[in-house]
Amino acid sequence: MLPKIRDLFRSKTKPRAIERSEGIVRDASSDEFFEQARKFQEDGQLERAIGLYGMVIERSPDRAEAYYKRANALNGLGRLRAALADYDRAIALNPSYAHAYCNRGSVLERLGRRDESLASYDRAIALEPGDPLALYNRGAVLMEMRRFDEALASYDNAISLKGDYVEAHINRGNVLEELGRHQEAVRSFDRAIELSSSYAEAFLGRGVSLHMLRRFADAVADYDKAIELKPHYAGAYLNRGNLMLEEKKLAAAVADYDKVIELDAVNAEAYYYLGTSLVGLKQFERAIACFDGAMKLNPDRKYLLGSRLAAKMQTCDWRDFDSDLQVVTEAVKVGGPVCHPLTMVALMDSPELQRAAASIWVSEEHPSDDTLGALTKRPHAGKIRVGYFSADFRNHPVARLSAGLFEAHDRSRFEISAFAFGVRSADSMRARLERAFDRFIDVQDLPDLEVAKLSRKLGIDIAVDLGGHTDQQRTGIFALRAAPLQLSYIGYLGTMAAPYMDYLVADRIMIPSSEIQHYSEKIIYLPSYQVNDPQRAIADRIFSREELGLPPDGFVFSCLNAIHKLLPADFAMWMRILTRVPDAVLFLYADNPVAERNLLAEAQRSGIAPGRLVFAERLPVDQYLARFRALDLFLDTTPYNAGTTASDALWAGLPVLTCPGRCFASRYAASLLEAIRLPELVTASKEEYEDTAVRLALNPGELKGIRDKLAVNRVSAPLFDTRRFTQDLESAYAKIYERYQADLPPSHIA
């Protein structure tokens, strides 16, 4: 989530500067001492001023202004408690001393005593209602107390007294940004810049608001201007880095975060976001070091524990895995925002904890937002309008699975719209999808509020989130209620735990009745869960074992899942399988050399020679599919099963062996195998999984029988029947829409 890094102006007594350097007159009257002290203070010679004010106070202990002035000098040197004592003495001598109350409030604020600070500002304003500085300072402390509406009123009052109060316009913009009123915030920063173009803080603040409005080019220009005005402005580099990260310009993001750390070596946020960017660049070891750096500076930083553990999983660095997992688990149990929901899906087979992590994420990052108010019911007239929302309308697994669905929808009954965001792509899949929909809308540059407004304007009846809690998704659109019916499908394998998501698509295998209480949504039960696209072309290429780096003989176990899905327990089991099948090898996809190195070392510790692990390279999709034909058996991972990869393997004719758990993602492959009528590949325990893998490797006749059955079922079973799936899904859409029209609440649908 984008941090809002800005400078908040603080009250400091800043007398008009007069350049003087006069010597102290030792035999002077009290007034002369006072005048000399004042001049030293104006010149910034605060220690000398403090000494002279002390001499004044010795001669005139009832002179309130001397205490006030000395307090200002002490305040300027950061000697806050001494300053507070002098402000208190000044007020005791002159209870109507408004300026003393004002600056006393500043000291109390810096001491963290905000309630007392606010009371002091209130007293200053009561004594001198026309003082814009007291109103400004009051706004600052209210902002720190997150009482934003009151802070805004205070800044408005300050501006009404002093229309050219640049700092007040800037902080007013900051408050409006905190309130999510981004357009108004821009106008406030515009006014500040109109009054004076020399404040880097105004450009930074406007950049943040433009960023939130997804006017990225304008935001970058403002961040650049802030840096031009203030070259060592760490906050501007940090926010520019955040924008680069959001746009996936990762090298540029890294450069900005490196600069922040150069300027501010104790900036935990910079270390955290630098680590996040490096993960995107697959520089995992450096990323982990950055997360470690953030941990030292701010161990309670939200999602830091989970991000660090996720980076370690990308490299199969399982040192301290159990203890790391225990820390994350215990924190989630007590409601701690420590782990992204998607990371939890890969970490543990606990629907209770997965729901808890998702609920925490939604509460922290995407709570319900009633800005647009209640939806007006559109009477049923003609077609049901379905909107599909995704960052993955490109060459991506979600699109490769669902393209056929969009094309197969019955246009006599349904009007289909795409709301596309995320990284723009000009690939062939994007072009195909743009033709597949009745309306394809690129909303990447629109903020969530405008997308939700557009969806409502178009009368979308059913909004389908194809991403859920995955990268680049826009859950905020659904928090605003883009449609009267909102459901989650295919991209995120679990409950979103969001009160505004009405339905989750599943089947009876993925969510058995014994686990339904762990899902916040009502369940749409289809005969089978995964949609597939029958147009997925497999290359004619026949891969030789030599081309793949495989030995000339021996059984080939494989797992081409993303490597972060692999946990130590599964790998240990695979090593036992290799021990029991001495001529076998294991073909894996590890997209970084650190993971390969760690897996080879782990294999050696299990007594397996390094040559028995072979690593696959990345290939174009049609050749990737063809490569499955050269393999013998796909070994699934738990608790995060193969999904698209499993159906890819089955489509290419490779059997998949799985062991379902309790969670949605841990039952995915079992759902696929049921849909292609191969239940014999679904095992009931880890022991059965291991024994079945060994038996199939040692009994080629049994395995051939399964492959032959797969070849027949591939063209007849439900898994790859897109039209049948589309009709089932459309039937579900019609049922939930009928309930809505009948004023019935969401309910489980079979």
Task: Classify strands 633-635 and 556-559 as parallel, antiparallel or unpaired.
Answer: parallel
Nearest to 254 by CA among 286, 207, 213: 286
- Separation CA 526–CA 386 (nearest Å): 18
3-state class of 351 per DSSP? Answer: helix
pLDDT at 65 over 50: yes
DSSP annotation string for 39-100: HHHHTT-HHHHHHHHHHHHHH-TT-HHHHHHHHHHHHHTT-HHHHHHHHHHHHHH-TT-HHH
Inter-residue contact 383 to 414 (CB < 8 Å): yes
For the stretch 423-446, what's the b/e string if a residue is b when 16 or more beta carbons lie within 10 angstroms of its beta carbon? eebeeebbebbeebbeebbebbeb
- Residue 515's identity, in one-letter code, is E
d(CA 290, CA 99): 46
Rg of the Cα atoms in the chain: 32
pLDDT digit string (tens) for 486-514? 999 999 999 999 999 999 999 999 999 99
pLDDT at 18 over 50: no
User: End-to-end alpha-carbon separation of the chain, Å?
Assistant: 37
The SS3 of residue 137 is helix
Q: Answer whether residue 12 shows pLDDT above 60.
A: no
pTM for this prediction: 0.90
* Residue 28 banded pLDDT, cuts 50, 70, 90: low
Beta bridge partners of 389: 419, 465
What's residue 319's pLDDT? 94
- Domains in the chain with CATH codes: 1-129 (1.25.40.10), 302-365 (no CATH), 384-525 (3.40.50.11380), 556-720 (3.40.50.2000)
Quick one: how far is CA 336 from the chain centroid? Answer: 16
Encode pLDDT of 71-127 as tens digits.
999 999 999 999 999 999 999 999 999 999 999 999 999 999 999 999 999 999 999
Retrieve residue 189's tokens. 């920063």
Q: What is the residue whose two structure tokens read 């905000």?
A: 114
Q: Torsions phi, psi of 4, nearest 5?
A: -100, 90
Which band of pLDDT confidence, cut at 50, 70 and 90, is reported for residue 29? confident
**What is the tens place of the pLDDT at every residue in 609-623?**
999 999 999 999 999
Distance CA 718, CA 468 (A): 25
Q: pLDDT by residue (tens digit) across 588-638?
A: 999 899 999 999 999 999 999 999 999 999 999 999 999 999 999 999 999
Classify residue 195 as exposed, middle or buried by CB count within 10 Å of its CB (0-12, 13-18, 19+). Answer: middle
Residue 414 parent element (H or E) = strand 414-420
Distances (CA, A) of 613 to 20, 94, 127, 577, 616: 79, 83, 80, 13, 10
Percent above pLDDT 90 for the chain: 93
Of the given ranges (15-29, 158-172, 533-547, 570-584), which has the lowest mean pLDDT?
15-29
3-state secondary structure 628-648: HHHCCEEECCCCCCCCHHHHH
Is residue 2 pLDDT above 80, yes or no? Answer: no
User: Both tokens of residue 577?
Assistant: 């399988």
In this prediction, residues 545-557 reach a mean pLDDT of 96
Angle (CA) 20-24-27 rounded to 5° is: 140
Which residues are bridge partners to 614 per DSSP?
Answer: 587
- Segment 228-235 shows an average pLDDT of 97
Partnered with residue 486 across adjacent β-strands are 463
- Inform me whether the pLDDT recorded for 20 exceeds 90: no
Backbone angles phi, psi at 20, to 5 degrees: -140, 155
Helix orientation angle between 234-246 and 216-229, rounded to the nearest 10 degrees = 160
Query: What is the chain's length?
Result: 750
Mean pLDDT value across the chain: 94
Please state the separation of Cα 474 from the chain's center in Å: 10
133, 122 Cβ separation under 8 angstroms: no
